[in-house]
Amino acid sequence: MAVVERTATIDATPNDLWAILADFASISHWAPNVDHSCIMTDQSQDVGAVRRIQTGGATVLETVTSWDPSKQLTYTITGLPPVIKQVTNTWRLMPTGSQTRVTLTSDIDAGPRPPQQMVAKMAGRKLGQASDQMLAGLAAAAKQSSVADD
């Protein structure tokens, strides 16, 4: 398994950031690397909600497995190439004064053998780049939201 972790400190409260993350269908509104997103279940929030995202030529489903408001959101990603067994993304929000430390962790399971571990590392590099883009997009959305509130 490969683990990729990216962190950013964002000038917003955990509640403000959670409001963006919890609008699970709307990731395409703030993540620059997501072209389209929509909810695939009647449930649009909490454990069990499923969204479909398109990024470039890829389409994947993301299913919420952990939902702890203003603290943590975890979802599994399916629809990746079959060489990848499972990918899980976890967003963690930690208050630091008037800001929030946001950590996005991707766990990539391609299997235990060395060639599979190499695939997991390569996938991890791509997911790390995607995570950087999503963190920057979340920061920009939080800034835009605070300007709209003023």
Say if residue 150's pLDDT is above 80: no
Q: Is residue 58 part of a domain?
A: no
The pLDDT tens digits for 73-117 are 999 999 988 889 999 999 999 999 999 999 999 999 988 888 888
Q: What is the mean pLDDT of residues 26-33?
A: 96
Q: Is residue 79 part of a domain?
A: yes
Say which CATH number the domain at 93 has: 3.30.530.20
Q: Is residue 51 part of a domain?
A: no
Say if residue 147's pLDDT is above 70: no
Tokens of 134: 């999503």
Domain range holding 144? 2-22+66-149
The pLDDT tens digits for 115-124 are 888 888 888 8
Cβ-contact 123, 87 below 8 angstroms: yes
% of the chain surpassing 90 pLDDT: 75
The pLDDT value recorded for residue 148 is 62
Q: Is residue 52 part of a domain?
A: no
Distance (Å, whole) CA 56 – CA 12: 30
The pLDDT value recorded for residue 87 is 95
Domain count, the chain: 1
pLDDT averaged over every residue in the chain: 93
The residue among 116, 54, 106, 38 whose CA lies nearest residue 83 is 116
Q: Is residue 113 part of a domain?
A: yes
Q: Is residue 104 part of a domain?
A: yes
Distance (Å, whole) CA 77 – CA 131: 14
The pLDDT tens digits for 39-48 are 999 988 999 9
Question: pLDDT band at residue 56, thresholds of 50, 70 and 90?
Answer: confident
Helices (H), the chain: 14-22, 27-30, 114-149
The pLDDT value recorded for residue 1 is 83
Q: Is residue 42 part of a domain?
A: no
Q: Is residue 119 part of a domain?
A: yes
Please, which residues have CB within 8 angstroms of residue 101's CB and are 6 or more apart in sequence?
7, 8, 9, 93, 94, 95
